Amino acid sequence: MRILLAGSTGLLGSTLRTALIDRGDDVVRLVRPATDASGVLWDPTSEPLDPDVVAGFDAVVNFAGRSIGEKRWSDREKAALWASRVDFSAGLARAIAAASPKPEVWINASAVGIYGDRGDDIVTEGDAQGNGFLAELTASWEAATAPAAEAGVRVVLMRNGIVLSADGGALGRLLAPFGPRWLSPYRWGLGGPVGKGTQYWSWVSLEDHTRAALHALAGGIAGPINVVAPNPVMHRTFIRALGRALRRPTVMPVPRFILNAVLGRELAGALVHEGQRVMPERLVADGFEFHDTDVETALREALAA
């Protein structure tokens, strides 16, 4: 396949790019002018994307987006998150819809944060959008892809959970909420669950995330898919498994106010205090088999990589 890939320098994009190249695909990067990586240049803040850039590709994959947990959620940071996801995807959608010939499929990142805080309820792709900034951001992110779907392109929305990798993403931020990795309380045996720890965390190994993207590219599935292992766990169970993987104790509960002070109440809520018990109903129904379903084994492998 000939694939246009946005977000190729991030954790998910770089891992997928390697997998695509290894299997023989022709991967062209869509990059911003300030990025060191080579590829097709596009500055979404100053110009629309030329449909001719997209024409002729078999598929487009967009994993671009500013990290949710990079900074406290000030109004300025929220605007930057919105631009990097919603505005970027909207510009890409317009180009895909106008391209001739059009790509057959567009894989766009999304997040289980669209469901909001759901307590013990089991959530699938058929459930409604939840409340809060992250849910609103994600719903608008998905809605931005509509022009491409209306033009006949198969659009797949990968609603990602916590991807297990020590190299970045949500787990990297959770391991080091205070900044540098060496300051991580969990690596020093000074961490534990936050609050009661009864919120559910839906997770997926990096390998299974990449495999799910490859599955979506090759198959006929369209619309939202929950990219999470079929075994969501409570936060306290996740933290105990993390401690065993790190060979460190996790018996010191972290008061909610500490993360609220470090991350800001709204970001701390979306990133840690709230949760969703999400199941990958549509992926499983489509024949996808997860390799990693035990959180402790998956964490051990992620942290050893």
What is the domain-level CATH number for residue 68? Answer: 3.40.50.720
Alpha-carbon distance of 81 to 182, in angstroms, equals 27
How many structural domains compose the chain?
A: 1
Percent of the chain's residues with pLDDT above 70: 95
pLDDT of 166 strictly over 80 = no
Domain membership of residue 50 as a residue range: 2-304
The mean pLDDT of 62-68, rounded to a whole number, is 93
Cα distance between residue 260 and residue 108, in whole Å: 31
Specify the higher pLDDT residue, 261 or 185.
Answer: 261
Tell me: pLDDT of 190 over 80: no
Return the percentage of the chain with pLDDT > 90, whole number: 73
| Residues near 79 by beta carbon (within 8 Å), at least 6 away in sequence | none
Q: 10 Å Cβ neighbour count for 20?
A: 22
What's the pLDDT score for residue 250? 87
pLDDT tens for residues 242-252?
A: 999 988 888 88
Cis preceding linkage at 33, omega within 30: no
Residue type (1 letter), 278: V
**What residues pair up with 205 in beta bridges, in sequence order?**
164
Q: Is the dihedral of CA 156, 162, 165, 171 positive or negative?
A: positive
Q: Indicate if the pLDDT at residue 231 is higher than 90.
A: yes
The span from the CA of 70 to the CA of 298, in Å, is 24
> How many Cα atoms within 13 Å fall on the side-chain side of residue 75?
0
Strand order from edge to edge, sheet including 40-41: 40-41, 26-31, 2-6, 59-62, 105-111, 154-160, 223-227
Cα–Cα distance between 13 and 22 in angstroms, integer?
Answer: 14
